[in-house]
Chain A
Amino acid sequence: MKIVVPVKRVVDANVKVRLRSDGSGVDTDNVKMAMNPFDEIAMEEAARLKEAGLASEIVAVSIGPDTCQEVLRAALAMGADRALLIQAEAELEPLTIAKLLRAIVAREQPQLVICGKQSTDGDANQTGQMLAGLLGWPQATFASKLEIAAGSATVTREIDGGLEVVAVTLPAVVTTDLRLNSPRYTTLPNIMKAKKKPLDKVTVGELGVEIRPRLATLRLAEPPVRSAGVMVADVAELLAKLKNEAKVI
């Protein structure tokens, strides 16, 4: 079974982003970048399936400028066999990403695509579901457990009320939630090995996907800051404030 894992390069989760002074976008100068944490979880899950003998090959795919090779090398160090960079300069919308991934699926013929449930920059939570829709495949989103058996996957999903278990036929798209696994730290030997693994490049044009933005961004703004209030000395003062000042209890 071949697995495709899309990985995105995003601002590191520990960075509090700021807008450029002209409001044209998020300031990424000298900002630490990393693999989207949910994609790391996806990559880890694929690596474990391969180690368990359930997957034969893992192909990591990233879409963006040449700098995305960093996250592809990281995916290779985690256990991907090959990497593919779809070269694109502009920031693409989830629908376009899903169409590009569909083109990769047509070439690679995987049985499973494991995506992160959302990227921590756009926070859209769309790509996996869109890809599944375009392919006519089942989708198992927000996975916290994944079991593969002949021709099907059993997935535990994190939902608002708790958990649910679904069985989907393969091929399928699975999207990862936080508790699916804890991604491994890559070791130096694996990082060295990753440098020798194949990393191919393909352009959007070669995949025959038209880029047509559907959303126009009219304005970006930072939300009003919540200012710090007061420190209280003890529980009695806290309760007095909540009763008499804030009037919330």
Chain B
Amino acid sequence: MTALIIAEHDNVSLKSATANAIAAARRLGTEIHVLVAGCACSAAAEQAARQHGVDKVLMADARHYQGGVAENLAALIVSHARAYSHLLAAATTFGKNVLPRVAALLDVGQVSDIMDVLAPDTFVRPMFAGNVLATVRSDDPIKVITVRATAFEAVGQGGAAPIETIAPGPDLGLSRLLARELTHSARPELTEAKIVVSGGRGLQSGENFKLLETLADRLGAAIGASRAAVDSGFVPNDYQVGQTGKIVAPQLYIAVGISGAIQHLAGMKGSKVVVAINKDPEAPIFQVADYGLAADLFQAVPELISALGQ
């Protein structure tokens, strides 16, 4: 049995969630191949080859894999899939976009967002905003799986797998990437940071988020947000933590001016230590917080900043 991991990368480097997906694949006890499809993507392929536990890297290099467009990528994956027992990708927007299309083309189901591997065909996955954990067995000949990155500790580097160049598949011409506007930040990546400072509607404006930025910089933290803060335009969409945003599990999660709706909790309940700062002592966020501070954030956060600055 061999598992194929669909690598997520920007041609130059591998996205860290791919290392988490490889970690999940190692629990299957299969051989592990990684597919790097891109455009001038040899640096990413070399990085994939260094990941622990990888036996072989397949590299498909063509213009029409630039940007990881789902239609072309799915066609390529499907043409190689019959050699594999498992196809995996991280449950990022990239993996969520591509893999269900692959599954349908192979006439198999998909197991989404797995949090545990119990056997090569048996997995645990969340439903209902993480309020139900389902143990499911896939009876399909090829198991198509997306992996919740925070549930599997990333593999390290130090391997030296061979890289095999494979022929690119067709350019289907169905869709075209016109532009990408990526949020640039010098702070750690939200899903990888050891500390996350998240703000909600209580911040009142994008301007006030500067307070959280200063706090985050003192702590070396990433910044997250609730849906309400994103919908109100305080911060970009990719800051959203929750059931339908990003899943984070840092050592420390500080929720500021966030009420603690089910959908938000779904994205941060796996954090080791949770701090909540909210002026409403009845806010549901306090029910999941290890340390709660019932206070006005406009007073508490500046105090925190100055205490940390000493």
Taking Cβ atoms with an 8 Å cutoff, the residues of A that contact B are 11, 13-14, 16-17, 19, 26, 38, 93-95, 98, 117-118, 120-134, 137-142, 144, 154, 157-169, 172, 177-179, 213-223, 226, 228-232, 234-236, 238-239, 241-242, 246, 248-249
Contacts and interface: CB of A to CB of B under 8 A. Distances in A.
B132 A158 contact: no
A246 to B, nearest CB: 5
A133 B111 CA distance: 17
Contact of B252 (A167, A218, A242): A242
Contacts of A160: 92-94, 191, 238, 246
Per CB-CB distance, the 4 closest pairs between chain A and chain B, nearest first, are: A214-B109, A229-B290, A129-B100, A130-B104
Contacts of A141: 70, 93, 96-97
B138 interface: yes
B292 A230 contact: yes
Given A118-B244, A229-B289, A235 B180 contact: no
Q: Using C-beta atoms within 8 Å of the partner chain, give the interface range for chain B.
A: 35 or more
A230 B291 contact: yes
Contact of A235 (B102, B281, B300): B300
A190 B92 CA distance: 39
B284 to A, nearest CB: 10
21 contacts: A11-B128, A95-B104, A123-B127, A126-B103, A129-B101, A133-B101, A141-B96, A159-B94, A162-B181, A162-B183, A163-B236, A168-B176, A169-B174, A178-B230, A214-B140, A215-B139, A220-B132, A228-B288, A231-B281, A231-B286, A249-B252
A216 B119 CA distance: 14
A138 B177 CA distance: 12
A125 B100 contact: yes
Given A160-B92, A248-B195, A134 B104 contact: yes
A215 B109 CA distance: 7
Contacts of A232: 291-293
Contact of B237 (A163, A215, A229): A163
A98 B104 contact: yes
A161 B182 contact: yes
A179 B231 contact: yes
Contact of B304 (A94, A144, A238): A238
A241 B139 CA distance: 49
A132 B175 CA distance: 12
Contacts of A138: 71, 174-175
B252 to A, nearest CB: 4
Contacts of B187: none
Given A138-B175, A164-B181, A13 B109 contact: no
Contact of A214 (B127, B138, B244, B252): B138
B165 interface: no
Contact of A139 (B71, B108, B178, B262): B71
Contacts of A242: 252, 273, 275, 291
